[in-house]
Structures are given as structure tokens and as C-alpha cells.
């Protein structure tokens, strides 16, 4: 059975020593979040995740969800009770607005807790995660009446939520949406159509489920300009917010799938179901996309979370499993063989995952802090800069962390040898669960195109220039610092390559857009390396300062510095490979005619 220990210490180090969260005390909700309170909240969340959710992870995988003849769905044994405890703990609305019953804590804190929840039990964590997504959409675009009716119950967890975009003929290209909405005299709409692959579409955890559905109002323009967003509750709420009549929406079936078995992935049938428009007619996609940054950040965290729990188990196994002797001579002469952790190739696997996870966690928390600034700052310029950062970093976090997170679960499985392939150890479940994060919420190829095609040129390249300026200034200011140069110098090299790649696109993609399309995934990963390399510089700087202060954290900080060095020496140089591929252009990628495949 796999185990999990939430990385509370690492989050505290990142928030306190690396990102100096106290500097954000001017933002609403931050001054109240003292270090003691943050540590207490993280500690409680960790306990819940370790003691309640982790043991249910295997149960959920084995049992899956069951659909009954009446269309109802039962979640795996123990999920209902765990969900009740999650609600009682107030975890779902930890950083939701106080006016709707949330606790108003910084988002960065709920993002950290989000990692713990997913590491412990990804399938379970998706139920509250989707409710948070639905609440965010209603908060950003709903009318005052809709907010008052739905938000308190979504935020408390009394009701759950879903996002209904995908249909059999379209996932990426939502312009092909066929679900119809017919206007009714009372201002409501009748929604008719079929949505597929809807996570948490039906379940027994809550008394009501609020579906957010994309549909086309009769007579609307074709393509993406004719899509609107609707609230379609499973039970129609009465005016005073109680659960009313059953709506004409039902779960037709649940999918059999590779992983996240504890989460119900549903075909949802809308048979003239009553719904209400959110935001303006035909602006449904825009409404969905304004909350995509948050949702995609959440999926990026899934990649990190599974990489972390897989790492923890692989590291523990490597210290126990005996095989062969160290190349430099036996280390445990009293034992019949040395534990495999003595072997450099096993170390390579563990270090690759660890060096990625620690920087990815920093990147996620740094960006979550920007989200707090974008939503809470009173200064319009600050808000804009933070929003620029979020827009630029979202496809990088979603695409890079889920690609690498999945790869890391495979690497961690490799550490177990054949035992990793056997279900008993739980490693193959991490691989299966992690895989979906590369696909949903915009497949990773689409993230790369979003980065290259939309985010780079947006506002004349303002966000990109700001990022380049920040990293360049850091390199300039710290390059001469002997203690930091092992981290800063390789970052300078990688940044130069990223700038060359950007220039190459400017010169070669306008004339032939395939050059951008063929290089976009490499560009996204090159960008990710630079962003993670920058995180390692900030971490190393904080670790040096903390070691110098001599407050008893020196072993942990020495480990940080060594791990960051591994990243700088052995992972960051992949930037040159990405640049070479980008510069090769699209010619060989596109050379074959379609019939040749
Ligand atoms: C377990 C699970 C849970 C899900 N949960 C939800 C949910 O809750 N709500 C919801 O609405 N949907 C959900 N989805 C659907 C998911 O978001 C889609 O499957 C995903 O967006 C991809 O769409 P698609 O499957 O139609 O693939 P397609 O759009 O057919 O894409 C196929 C491949 O082609 C590539 N591609 C497509 N267009 C382009 C292009 N223009 N340029 C380059 N490459 C391109 C894609 O990157 C992908 O690799 C879920 C799916 C699964 C499997």
C-alpha cells in the first residue's frame, strides 16, 4: 500500500523564505493569514489527506463508481463519509469570498492544500475541485441573483458542480457544439443535447449538482461565436434556495476508463432541461475562458501532486529493496546486498523527480500568489501585471507539469522494477491516474499552441517581455555571487536559448505557421525549463540565507542546494535540444502526405 506525507515544511519554506508572503499583507485576507495560522491550516489539511483520503485511494480505484438503472450513481465505499468531513472542515470554501460563506484565505493556501488532496486521492479531489470551478464561473459571470442562489451552497459543499463542454463530435473545437437552448417566455431556456466525459456528472455525495453547460441558442451564429453558457441544476432550486423539482438532466452511462476510477465520468443527457443563461448570449466561451487560468492551474497541480506521491513511495522503496552492491564497494556489508538507493542510476531517477517537484511546487505557488494579486490588489497596474503573468504561465504550468508529472510517475514505477507493474504497490495506479491531466482542460498540444500563438503576441508581447526582464535582471544582479553562480549561469544559458527560439518564431512562423505549430511543444518545455530554473535560483538564494542564519535547518537546506544543482547541471541543459528542434522547422514533420500514414 502506498503511503503519503504532505510536504507541509516545503510549502512553509516556499511561502515564508522564498516568496515572503508577509510582503502581501496589504491584500485582503493576507494579514489574517499569519505564519502560525498557515502552518496550522496546512497541518490540519495534511492530517485529513494522510489519514482519511490516502487509505481510500486504492478503494476508489478498485471499486470505481456504479450507475444504477434509475440513472443514479454510487461513489466508492468511504467517499461519502470523507466528503462529509471535507465539508465540515470548511475546506471547499477556504479561499472563497467571505460574502458567500467562504473563509477568504489566500488562494495560494488553497492551492497548496489542493496539491495535498490530489496526492492523497485524485479521483476524490476532483469532486470538490469541479464545484470550485463552477462557483468561480458563477462568481465571475453570474447575475447578483444567481450568485446569491448558488454560491453559498457550492462554496459550503452542500451542492456540487460540473463543467459540461465536451460532446461526441467535439472537445478541442467547441465551435462544433450541437447542444441546443430554446428560449422560454419566463426567461429560462430548454436545453437539449448530449455531453460526454463529464467528470462528477452524477454521484451521491451531495443533495444537488449544478451543471454549467455550453449550448447554442436557436438562431445563434455558427462556430465559437454562437455558444452560450447555462446553469442547469439537477434539482431546480426554489426561490428561497431549497431543493425543488427534478430537472430533465440525467446520467446515461459512466465511462470505463484508464484511471481516476473513483470519479464518475458521465454521459449526460439533457432532454429539454431547464437552464438559465450566465453572462451574455453567445459569449459562453469567453465566460468559460476567463476562469480557465484557475482551472488549468488546478490541473497542473494534479501533475505535481501525483509526481510527489509517486516520488515519496519510490524513495522509500529504494532505501529498502536490496539488489547488487554499490559500484564503489559494498555499503551495507552486514546485508546480503545493498539497498538500490546506492546505485547512481536509481539516484538519477529519484533526483530527476525530486528536482522537478520542488521547483514545480514553487512555480505553482508563485503563480497562485499572482492570482491573489490579480483578484485582490487595489492597484490596477499591479493587477494587470499579475494577470499577464497568470495568462503566460497557465499553459506552461498545465502543459509542462502534467507532461513531466506523468513521466515522473512512470520513472517512480521504474524504481520498483517488476513490483511497480503489480497493482499491490499502487505505483501503476499513479501512472494511470496521472495520464488524464495531460488530456483534459485542453490537451497539452493545445496548451503549447495557446502559449506560442496567443500568449506570446498578446498585448504586443507585454507579458513575455515582463518575464524576460525579471529573469534577466535576476541573472544580472546575482551572476557574480559565487554561491549562486552554479544556478544562475545555466539559467542564463537557457534564457538565451528561449530568447533565440522566440526570435526564430518571429522570423519564421509568420510566413509558415506550421513552423510555430511544429515547434510549439518544444517551446513550451523550453519555457518550462527556464521558469523552473528561475525557481531554483530563488530557492537556492533562500536556502543559502537560511543556512547562514544557522537556525537548525541546515541539513534540509543543504539538500535543497544539492537538488537545485542537479537540476541546473543535468536537467536544464535540455533547453539546447528543444532549441535545436524548434530551429529545424516544420519541413520534415510535414513532409509526408496524409495518405502515407
Ligand atoms: C476522464 C475524462 C474526464 C473529462 N472531464 C471533462 C469534463 O468534466 N467536462 C468536459 O467538458 N470535458 C471533459 N473531458 C473531455 C476532455 O476535456 C476532452 O477529451 C479534451 O478536451 C480533448 O478533446 P477530444 O477528446 O475531443 O479530442 P480532440 O479534440 O479530438 O483532439 C484529439 C487530438 O488532436 C489534437 N488537436 C485537436 N485540435 C488541434 C489543433 N487545432 N491543433 C493541434 N492539435 C490539435 C489534440 O491535442 C489531441 O491530441 C474529460 C475527458 C476525460 C477522458
Residue 434's closest CA among 309, 314, 538? 309
**CATH pick for 160-283 out of 2.40.110.20, 3.40.50.1000, 3.30.365.10, 3.40.50.300:** 2.40.110.20
Q: Kindly state if the Cβ of 349 falls inside 6 Å of ligand 1.
A: no
| The three three-digit cell numbers of residue 77, written as one number | 465505499
Nearest to 491 by CA among 465, 470, 471, 519: 471
Nearby residues of 595 by Cβ (< 8 Å), 6 or more positions away: none
Task: Count the Cβ atoms, other than its own, within 10 Å of residue 496.
Answer: 15
CA distance 212 to 163: 5
Mind giving me the DSSP string for 404-427? HHHHHHHHHHHHTGGGGTSGGGSH
Report the candidate in 107, 124, 132 with the shortest Cα–Cα distance to residue 38.
Answer: 107
Helix H or strand E segment including 314: helix 292-320
Euclidean distance between CA atoms 530 and 388, whole angstroms: 17
Q: How far is C-alpha 208 from the chain's CA centre?
A: 26
**Cell triple for residue 554?**
541546515
Q: And the C-alpha cell for 196?
A: 460526454
- Rounded to whole angstroms, how far apart are CA atoms 419 and 317? 10
Domain boundaries defined on the chain? 8-141, 160-283, 291-442, 459-587
CA–CA separation, 529 vs 498, rounded Å? Answer: 9
User: Which ranges of 321-379 does DSSP label H, i.e. alpha helix?
Assistant: 344-376
Residue 123 to residue 133: CA distance in whole angstroms: 16
Q: Is the CB of 164 within 6 Å of ligand 1?
A: yes
| Other CB atoms within 10 A of residue 378 CB | 9
Q: Quote the pLDDT of residue 554.
A: 85
Expressed in angstroms and rounded, the spacing between residue 393 Cα and the centre of ligand 1 is 21
Using DSSP's 3-state secondary structure scheme, residue 381 falls into helix
Q: Find where cell 495557446 sits.
A: 450
- How far is 401 from 118, CA to CA, in rounded Å? 14
Structure confidence at residue 291 (pLDDT): 72
Q: Which three cell numbers stand for residue 483?
A: 554561491
Predicted TM-score of the model (pTM):
0.97
Is 197 touching ligand 1 by the criterion CB < 6 Å?
yes
CATH class of segment(s) 8-141? mainly alpha
Among 443, 447, 453, 524, the mutation site with the greatest number of ligand 1 atoms within 8 A of its Cβ is 443
pLDDT tens for 143-160 read 999 999 999 999 999 999
Distance 65 CA to ligand 1 centre (A): 22
**Cα–Cα distance, 55 to 120 (Å, whole number):** 8
Residues 405 and 530 sit within 8 Å (Cβ to Cβ): no
Helices (H), 261-291: 284-290
From first CA to last CA, the distance across the chain in angstroms is 43
Is the beta carbon of 236 within 6 A of some atom in ligand 1?
Answer: no
Closest C-alpha residue for ligand 1 atom 22 = 171
The residue whose C-alpha atom lies closest to atom 52 belonging to ligand 1 is 197
Retrieve residue 293's grid coordinates.
487560468
What letter would DSSP give residue 238?
P
Cβ proximity of 106 and 33 under 8 Å: yes
3-state secondary structure 288-308: HHHCHHHHHHHHHHHHHHHHH
265 lines ligand 1 (CB under 6 A): yes
For residue 446, report the distance from its CA to the centre of ligand 1, in Å. 9
* Predicted pLDDT of residue 294: 81
Residue of 441, 470, 569, 595 with catalytic role: 441
Give the 3-state DSSP-derived string for 321-333, with helices as H, strands as E and coil as C: CECCCCCCCCCCC
Q: How many CB atoms lie within 10 A of CB 298?
A: 26
114-135 burial, b at 16+ Cβ within 10 Å, e below that, comes to bbbbbbbbbbbbbbbbbbbbbb
The residues pairing with 198 across neighbouring beta strands, listed in sequence order, are 266
Instruction: Provide the grid cell at 431.
Output: 501512472
- Site to probe by mutation for ligand 1, drawn from 122, 130, 166 as the one with most ligand atoms within 8 Å of Cβ, is 166
Kindly give the interhelix angle for 107-141 and 344-376, rounded to the nearest 10 degrees. Answer: 50
What does the DSSP assignment read for 51-109? IIIHHHHHHHHHH--EE-TTS-EEPPTTHHHHHHHHHHTT-TTTTS-GGGT-----HHH
| Mutation to probe ligand 1, out of 439, 451, 589 (largest number of atoms < 8 A from CB) | 439
β-strand pairing of 249-254 with 235-237? unpaired
Q: Ligand 1 in contact with 172 (CB < 6 A)?
A: yes
Substitution site in 128, 132, 171, 454 for ligand 1 pocket (most atoms within 8 Å of beta carbon): 171
- Pick out the chain residues at pLDDT < 70: 551-552
Superfamily of domain 291-442: Butyryl-CoA Dehydrogenase, subunit A, domain 3 (1.20.140.10)
Neighbours of 536 (CB within 10 A): 29
Q: Which three cell numbers stand for residue 61?
A: 480505484
Q: How far is the CA of 437 from the centre of ligand 1 (A)?
A: 11
CB distance 572 to ligand 1 below 6 Å:
no
CA–centroid distance, 257 to ligand 1, in Å, is: 15
Give CA–CA dist 142/278, Å, rounded.
5
- Is the Cβ atom of 518 under 6 angstroms away from ligand 1? no
Alpha carbon 368 to chain centroid, angstroms:
11
Check: CB of residue 73 under 8 Å from CB of residue 204. yes
441 is catalytic: yes
Cβ(171) to ligand 1 under 6 A? Answer: yes
* 182 ligand 1 Cβ < 6 A: no
Helices (H) and strands (E) in the chain, counts: 17, 11
Question: Does 445 sit in the ligand 1 pocket, CB within 6 Å?
Answer: yes
- The closest-lying atom of ligand 1 relative to the alpha carbon of residue 170 is 26
Amino acid at each position: 500500500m502506498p503511503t503519503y506525507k504532505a510536504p507541509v515544511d516545503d510549502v512553509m519554506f516556499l511561502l515564508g523564505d522564498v516568496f515572503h508572503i508577509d510582503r502581501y499583507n496589504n491584500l485582503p485576507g493576507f494579514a489574517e493569514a499569519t505564519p502560525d495560522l498557515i502552518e496550522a491550516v496546512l497541518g490540519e489539511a495534511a492530517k485529513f489527506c494522510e489519514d482519511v483520503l490516502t487509505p481510500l485511494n486504492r478503494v476508489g480505484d478498485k471499486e470505481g463508481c456504479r450507475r444504477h438503472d434509475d440513472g443514479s450513481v454510487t461513489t466508492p465505499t468511504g467517499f461519502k463519509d470523507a466528503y462529509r468531513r471535507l465539508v465540515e472542515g470548511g475546506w471547499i470554501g477556504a479561499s472563497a469570498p467571505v460574502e458567500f460563506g467562504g473563509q477568504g484565505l489566500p488562494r495560494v493556501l488553497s492551492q497548496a492544500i489542493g496539491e495535498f488532496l490530489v496526492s492523497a486521492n485524485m479521483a476524490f479531489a476532483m469532486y470538490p475541485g469541479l464545484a470550485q470551478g463552477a462557483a468561480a464561473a458563477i462568481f465571475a459571470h453570474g447575475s447578483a441573483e444567481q450568485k446569491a442562489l448558488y454560491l453559498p451552497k457550492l462554496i459550503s459543499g452542500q451542492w456540487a458542480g460540473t463543467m459540461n463542454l465536451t460532446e461526441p463530435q467535439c472537445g478541442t473545437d467547441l465551435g462544433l457544439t450541437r447542444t441546443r437552448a430554446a428560449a422560454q417566455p419566463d426567461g429560462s431556456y430548454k436545453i437539449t443535447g448530449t455531453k460526454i466525459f463529464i467528470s462528477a456528472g452524477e454521484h451521491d455525495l451531495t443533495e444537488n449538482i449544478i451543471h454549467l453547460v455550453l449550448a447554442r441558442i436557436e438562431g445563434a451564429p455558427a462556430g465559437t461565436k454562437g455558444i452560450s453558457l447555462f446553469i442547469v441544476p439537477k434539482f431546480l432550486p426554489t426561490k428561497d434556495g431549497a431543493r425543488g423539482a427534478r430537472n430533465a438532466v440525467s446520467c446515461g452511462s459512466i465511462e470505463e476508463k484508464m484511471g481516476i476510477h473513483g470519479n464518475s465520468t458521465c454521459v449526460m443527457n439533457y432532454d429539454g432541461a431547464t437552464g438559465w443563461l450566465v453572462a451574455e448570449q453567445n459569449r459562453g466561451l469567453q465566460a468559460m475562458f476567463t476562469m480557465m487560468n484557475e482551472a488549468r492551474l488546478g490541473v497542473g497541480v494534479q501533475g505535481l501532486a501525483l509526481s510527489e506521491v509517486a516520488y515519496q513511495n519510490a524513495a522509500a522503496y529504494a532505501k529498502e529493496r536490496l539488489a547488487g552492491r554499490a559500484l564503489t564497494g559494498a555499503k551495507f556489508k552486514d546485508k546480503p546486498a545493498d539497498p538500490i538507493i546506492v546505485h547512481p542510476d536509481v539516484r538519477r531517477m529519484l533526483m530527476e523527480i525530486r528536482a522537478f517537484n520542488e521547483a514545480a511546487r514553487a512555480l505553482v505557488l508563485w503563480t497562485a500568489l499572482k492570482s491573489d494579486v490579480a483578484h485582490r490588489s487595489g492597484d490596477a497596474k499591479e493587477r494587470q501585471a499579475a494577470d499577464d503573468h497568470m495568462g503566460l504561465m497557465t499553459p506552461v504550468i498545465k502543459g509542462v507539469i502534467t507532461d513531466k508529472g506523468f513521466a515522473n510517475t512512470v520513472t517512480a514505477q521504474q524504481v520498483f522494477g517488476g513490483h511497480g507493474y503489480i497493482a499491490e504497490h499502487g505505483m501503476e495506479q499513479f501512472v494511470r491516474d496521472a495520464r488524464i491531466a495531460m488530456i483534459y482542460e485542453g490537451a497539452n498540444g493545445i496548451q503549447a499552441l495557446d502559449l506560442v500563438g496567443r500568449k506570446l503576441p498578446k498585448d504586443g508581447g507585454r507579458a513575455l517581455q515582463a518575464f524576460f526582464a525579471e529573469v534577466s535582471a535576476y541573472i544580472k544582479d546575482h551572476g557574480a555571487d559565487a554561491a549562486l553562480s552554479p544556478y544562475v549561469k545555466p539559467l542564463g544559458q537557457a534564457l538565451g536559448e528561449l530568447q533565440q527560439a522566440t526570435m526564430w518564431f518571429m522570423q519564421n512562423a509568420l510566413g509558415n505557421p506550421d513552423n510555430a505549430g511544429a515547434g510549439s511543444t518544444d517551446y513550451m518545455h523550453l519555457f518550462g525549463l527556464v521558469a523552473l530554473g528561475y525557481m531554483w535560483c530563488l530557492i537556492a538564494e533562500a536556502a543559502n540565507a537560511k543556512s547562514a542564519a544557522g537556525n537548525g535547518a541546515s541539513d534540509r537546506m543543504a539538500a535543497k542546494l544539492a537538488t537545485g544543482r542537479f537540476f541546473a547541471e543535468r536537467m536544464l541543459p535540455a533547453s539546447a535540444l528543444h532549441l535545436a528542434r524548434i530551429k529545424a522547422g516544420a519541413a520534415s514533420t510535414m513532409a509526408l502526405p496524409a495518405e502515407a500514414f
